A and B are shown apart, each in its own frame.
Chain A
Amino acid sequence: MYGGGNTFEGIKTDNLAQEDPIKLAAFEARIARGEKIEPTDWMPQLYRKQLIRMIEQHAHSEIIGALPEGTWITRAPGFKRKMSLMAKVQDEVGHAQLLYSAAETLGKSREQMIDDLINGKSKYSNIFNYPTFTWADCCFISWLVDAGAIVNQLANAKGSYGPYCRALDRICAEESFHLKYGHHCVIYLASGTAKQRQMFQEALNRWWPPMMHFFGPSDKISAHTEVLMRWKVKMGTNDEMRNQFLDMYVPKIWELGFTIPDPNLKKNESGKWEYTEPDWEEFKRVINGDGPCNKERLEVRRIAEARGKWVREALKTPKMSYVTPLA
């Protein structure tokens, strides 16, 4: 899972003038031809910096995203659901491993990335700063947050950086399990008792605003990302991704007889979805640390790091040294 919309605020393209123009032209021509960039290829500093930022945020989102779902493993309704949820949460943590590895090929160490997560320097997807009150909240995440993630990840898998694309190919294949599992869970709630339907409707009411935030600020107010689109770092605007999600999943939600808590939600004649503008002030407030679960999420990670330190130290051997992963 992953929310990709908040990664590109305030980029400065001034330092592109300091790049070697011949190398820059060759780099852009390679991307325009549809070839992938590999770790040992020349790349502009801005490309490297933005990719590290994006892939690292994606990795953090996988790690932190495992927490609101993981909390329901012990209370999942039945053995099958428990097994499936355990496998899903293990997938998400595995995805973080793949993504940290891809970011490492760009030169940032895993130690530094984990430090930056714990001390709040790096961000992760805003949606995981909300609590999962009931099993239905967990089902919402498994189906619809993962659906949003797949929209982002399928797009990014066509990007330009080879190691990230290869990681995403594997991640998308595993996410397809999550999507089907989540839909399966929601169908069972929808076709269950009145209380079960009510549970999911209430979860939908709680999660719809964060879900609309998930794709990042509206194109009207988000930073200019033309160069990142040209370099295939960013594969679509936030509004394009949001529209694609709405196009694919609103009909499925309506099909189940649930009400989406936005009276203005409709598809216009040009095929675009219209909706009430999400509360971007809340989005900023939560991303800056003032959401319902920000402190808990980071504290859990901090405690895990502290408690695991003796194990890591015990396993260290004098023969170790670090080299950048190959691909």
Chain B
Amino acid sequence: MNSLDPRVNRLPQITEAVLPKAALDQFGTYEVFVQPKEGKPFQHEGIVHAPNLELAWVLAKETFTRRFTCASLYVVDTRDVYVSPLTEGDKNVYDVLPQVAEQSGSKKNFEIYHLVKRGKQHVHVGTVQAVLPQEAMHLAGKQFNHSKVVFNVWAIATDTIRFTTDEEKELWLTLPEKKFRDASDYKGGDKLKEFLEKSNFN
């Protein structure tokens, strides 16, 4: 190659053809949940592709929490999110979910997420104890289905989540004097004003 960039010119020549990607070349997906501030609920932000939970957490931090404030985040394999049907209009999804009797067996915690406005993110509403995710949703209907119409519910077994440790939370602590945390920190106004006063372009 004859690039303006010397690093590009130094790249090795790849003579063999790049074959079509095999399935899972980009790995599976993990859902990312972010807590923007202490005291605020976690909300769904999107996904990352990663080979495992640990790398999913690292990639989530890089993708979703570099520019804006963040108190904590967690990730979970997309396959571990139990999803209800999506309703519309004024139909509450809890009205269409099947009744599930209390199950016998070892209970575990499930994190419950609600979608209360189509087009917005799913937001954490609380934790229930159940044996099955269907049962968790049924219990969530009793505990968290209060006023607003809920269009969609997610139930995630807490033990499948990769949480942020207390020590890791320090990653998001920034010094008060740290600059450029906001777009408006790029202050060119004074220099522009001074320049315009000296120039006669206008």
Contact = CB atoms under 8 A, between A and B. Distances in A.
Interface of A: 30, 35-36, 38, 40-41, 71, 74, 84, 87, 90-91, 94, 97-98, 101, 104, 109-112, 114-115, 118, 131-133, 162, 165-167, 170, 173-174, 176-177, 179-181, 183-184, 187-188, 190-191, 254-257, 295-296, 299-300, 302-303, 305-307, 312, 315-317, 320-323, 325-327
21 contacts: A111-B20, A112-B21, A114-B26, A166-B120, A177-B67, A177-B180, A180-B184, A188-B188, A191-B192, A254-B202, A256-B201, A300-B8, A307-B14, A315-B55, A320-B27, A323-B79, A325-B29, A325-B47, A326-B78, A326-B83, A327-B44
B62 A191 contact: no
A315 B51 contact: yes
Interface of B: 1, 3-5, 7-8, 11-12, 14, 16, 18, 20-29, 31, 44-49, 51-52, 55, 62-64, 66-68, 78-79, 81, 83, 86, 88, 118-122, 154, 180, 183-188, 191-192, 194-196, 199, 201-202
Contacts of B22: 111
B51 A317 contact: yes
Q: Dominant SS at the A interface?
A: helix
A112 B22 CA distance: 9
B25 A174 contact: no
Nearest to A134: B4
A167 B11 contact: no
Contacts of B66: 87, 90-91, 94
A316 B14 CA distance: 23
B118 A94 contact: no
Nearest to B181: A177
B118 A36 contact: yes
Contacts of A41: 86
A257 B196 CA distance: 9
A176 B183 contact: yes
A257 B16 CA distance: 51
B3 A118 contact: no
A146 B120 CA distance: 26
Interface hub of B4, B44, B45, B68 (most chain A Cβ within 10 A): B4
Given A322-B24, A323-B78, A316 B51 contact: yes
Nearest to A301: B18
A183 B195 CA distance: 14
B27 A187 contact: no
Contacts of B16: 306
A91 to B, nearest CB: 7
Nearest to A133: B4
B18 to A, nearest CB: 5
Contacts of B199: 257
Contacts of A325: 29, 31, 46-47, 78
Nearest to B200: A257
Given A174-B67, A255-B202, A306-B16, A326 B81 contact: yes
Nearest to B48: A97
Contacts of B81: 326
Contacts of B48: 97, 101
A254 B188 contact: no
Contact of A167 (B46, B122, B187): B46
